[in-house]
Amino acid sequence: MELAIQTRGLVKTFRGVEAVRGIDLEVQRNTIFGFLGPNGAGKTTTIKLLLGLVRPTQGTATVFGQDIGRDTLEIRRRVGYLAQDPRYYEHMTARETLRFTARFFFKTGAPLDRRIQQTLELVGLADRADRPIRGFSGGERQRLGIAQAQINHPDLLILDEPAASLDPMGRRDVLAVMANLREHTTIFYSTHILDDVQRVSDTVAIMHQGKLVAQASIGELLSGRKGETTYTIAISGETGDARSRIDAFPWIARIEESAENGGMRWLVHTTDAAAAEATLLRSILASERVTVTAFGKQTHDLEDVFLRVVEEADNAA
C-alpha cells in the first residue's frame, strides 16, 4: 500500500536546539493517524516540515511519494491544513475566504460556487457566509478552518490540534466531519485530547522531546506492550497446579498475582497471542478445584499508555 507520509531520519534544528530529532514516521493511506505528544514535543514542527513551511536540517520526507522540498507545490495541491490557531484575512467574509482558498486549486465558475456553498453547509456556516470574519467566535473560526482545509477535496488532511479550543459540541462536530472524510482522505492530526484519539484514530504515534517514542495501531497500543498480550483472570480455589502448568509455557512472559474479593487476580503477560488464546483458559480449567469467575484480554486507557510511554522515554534519556 502506498504511504501517505513517510519520513526517514527527519531532523530540524533551530539555533542549535533540536526540535525534531531523527523521526521515522509512516502513515498509511485512508487512515486517521493521531499524532500525540506533550507541548513542545515537536508535533507542530513536524507538520510544518511536511508542508514546506520550514526546511529539514537532515533527513528526508515524502508525501504521496513526493519530496517535501522539491515537490512542495504539488504536495500542497493534495493537502488541506488546519492550523492550531487559524488566522484569516479579517476583512473577508467566510464565503470570500473559501473562494480565495479554492481558487488556488480550481478555476472560477458555477461548479466552484457550488463547492463553496456545499462546504459552508457542511460546517454549518451557510447562514453566516457573508459576514466579515472579524465578528466570528472561536468555534466559527474553527469551522471555517475545517471548511478551507477540505475545500480542495484533499487526499491528505493535516489538522493541528483541531478540537483544542472547542466546547464538547464543537469537538463532537469536528470528530464527525473527520469520520465522514476518512473514506476519501487520509487524516493526520495532532492533539493532546486522548479521548478523541481513542475514539477515531486507526494509528497513533507519540512524540516526546523531538523523538518518536511509539507508533502502532490503536488496538496494539491499547493492548499493552508491543508484542505482548495481557489476560486478566479472576480465579479462586487451589490454584497451585494451574499456576505451575501455565508457568511452563514458553510464551508466558510473566504473571502478576494480587488478592481480590477472597480470591486471586492474575495478570498473565503472554508473547504469543494465538497460543494463549487457544490454550491458556483450557490449561487453567484442567484443574478441577479451580474456579474462574472472569477471563479476558486486558485493555488500557490511552492516557495510561501515553503516560507510560513518555515516562519510559524520560527514563531511557
Check residue 89 for interaction with other proteins (CB under 8 A). Answer: yes
Q: Positive or negative CA dihedral for 124, 129, 131, 133?
A: positive
What is the rounded distance in angstroms from the CA atom of residue 196 to the CA atom of residue 308?
A: 19
Q: Between vectors from CA 43 to CA 84 and to CA 120, what angle results, nearest 5°?
A: 30
Query: Taking CB under 8 A as the rule, does residue 184 contact other proteins?
Result: yes
Burial class (CB in 10 A: 0-12, 13-18, 19+), 281: middle
Which cell numbers hold the place of 30? Answer: 485512508
Does residue 52 interact with other proteins by CB under 8 A?
yes
Among 24, 40, 53, 286, binds other proteins (CB under 8 A): 53
Stated length of the chain: 317
Q: How far apart are the C-alpha atoms of 234 and 168, rounded to whole Å? A: 37
246's grid cell: 501455565
- Count interface residues toward other proteins (CB under 8 A): 40
Residue span binding other proteins (CB under 8 A) among the ranges 69-77, 165-173, 252-260, 273-281 = 69-77
Residues 11-50: x where in contact with other proteins by CB under 8 A, - otherwise, as a string: -------------------------------------x--
CB of 51 to other proteins, least distance (A): 5
List 1, 15, 39, 73, residue binding other proteins (CB under 8 A): 73
Q: What's the min distance (Å) between Cβ of 69 and other proteins?
A: 12
Exposed, middle or buried, 288 (CB in 10 Å: 0-12/13-18/19+)? exposed
Which 103-142 positions form the footprint of other proteins (CB under 8 A)?
103-107, 109-112, 114-115, 118, 122
Binding site for other proteins (CB under 8 A): 48, 51-55, 73-74, 76-77, 79, 81, 83, 85-89, 91-92, 96, 100-101, 103-107, 109-112, 114-115, 118, 122, 153, 180-181, 184
